[in-house]
Amino acid sequence: MKIIKRGFVAIPMVFLSLILIPLVASAQNQKAQAPNQVLGEVQFIGPDKAEKTAGVWIDGQYVGYVAELKDDKKVMLLPGTHEISFRQTGYLDSTQSFVVEPGKKLIVTVRLDKDPKAEYSTVTSEIKLKVTPERAAVFVDGSFVGYVKQFGGMGRGMLVSPGDHHIKIALAGYQEFNTDVKLLPKQKITLKTDLVAGSITQAPPAIKQN
């Protein structure tokens, strides 16, 4: 009688294990795949240098420049409609609304038109930047002019007209940096700072000016 009872109990246990193991494995797989199934990817293509180095704003937030937004910096968004803007010095701003679908890739080709009203000074001053992160956006007098890496290193600098200018450097996840400069004709200066990660309500980082 004991042998029959043991066999009777063992059969349901094996049967239950055959059911439960696939269910647990299925739940784990679904949990692992959930982020990719919920989010949609946006890939940017810039045909020319102007488009490749253009700044990208999504729903009003700067996220980087076109050429870098891939691989570990690829853009993943929640499904729905998002407003995406592209800005470049000497070009008209381009803003469009795009619909992002869950688990799908949206490919956006960047097209920019030159600004017929753009003016360039014949006499300039130069500002070089030694700032980290190098992908942070740079604004002069409220206008986007590029990202930090474009204005640092040998033979690279930001040409501006002489006089007073307000410089802002910003990147999502870091405290925004602001400073004012007064430049003489043909004067060259270097601005140095490290953006501090954290809340924008904290004190701004110190800056060195040469």
One domain for residues 129 and 100? no
CATH number at residue 202: 2.60.40.1120
94-100 and 80-87 as β-strands: parallel, antiparallel, unpaired?
Answer: antiparallel
Whether this model's pTM surpasses 0.85: no
Of 81, 109, 137, the residue at which a domain comes to its end is 109
Residue 103 within a domain = yes
One domain for residues 149 and 102? no
SS3 95: strand
Q: What is the mean pLDDT of residues 19-24?
A: 45
Phi, psi angle pair for 201, to nearest 5°: -85, -10
pLDDT for 184: 96
Residue 196 within a domain = yes
Other Cβ atoms closer than 10 A to 97? 8
One domain for residues 133 and 198? yes
**Strand residue runs (E) in the chain:** 40-45, 55-58, 61-65, 75-77, 80-87, 94-100, 105-109, 125-132, 137-140, 143-147, 158-160, 163-170, 177-183, 188-194, 208-209
One domain for residues 92 and 149? no
pLDDT for 181: 95
pLDDT for 208: 45
Confidence of residue 34 (pLDDT cuts 50, 70, 90): low
Confidence of residue 55 (pLDDT cuts 50, 70, 90): very high
Q: What is the mean pLDDT of residues 70-95?
A: 94
Q: Which one, of 111, 93, 100, lies nearest residue 77 by Cα?
A: 100
Residue 4 within a domain = no
pLDDT for 116: 92
- Give yes or no for residue 210 having a pLDDT over 90: no
Residue 30 within a domain = no
Q: Which one, of 186, 190, 195, lies nearest residue 128 by Cα?
A: 190
Residue 142 within a domain = yes
- Which has the minimum average pLDDT: 44-48, 174-178, 206-210? 206-210
Residue 197 within a domain = yes
Task: Judge whether 179 and 165 are in contact, CB under 8 Å.
Answer: no
- For 83-128, how does the pLDDT look when each residue is reduced to its tens digit (9 = 90+)? 999 999 999 999 999 999 999 999 999 999 999 988 887 889 999 9
List all residues 6 or more positions away from 110 whose beta carbon is below 8 Å from its beta carbon.
44, 45, 46, 47, 51, 54, 66, 86, 94
- Give yes or no for residue 204 having a pLDDT over 90: no
* Residue tagged 């004012």 (tokens): 180
One domain for residues 95 and 135? no
Helix or strand run (H / E) with residue 3: helix 2-38
Buried b (16+ CB within 10 A) or exposed e, 131-155: bebebbbbbbeeebbbbbbbbbeee
Domain count within the chain:
2
One domain for residues 100 and 67? yes
One domain for residues 97 and 144? no
One domain for residues 143 and 188? yes
pLDDT for 86: 97
Residue 115 within a domain = no
One domain for residues 151 and 104? no
- Give yes or no for residue 6 having a pLDDT over 60: no
Of 51, 74, 109, the residue at which a domain comes to its end is 109
Range of the domain at 140: 125-209
Average pLDDT, the chain: 83
CATH number at residue 80: 2.60.40
Residue 193 within a domain = yes
Q: What is the mean pLDDT of residues 35-39?
A: 74
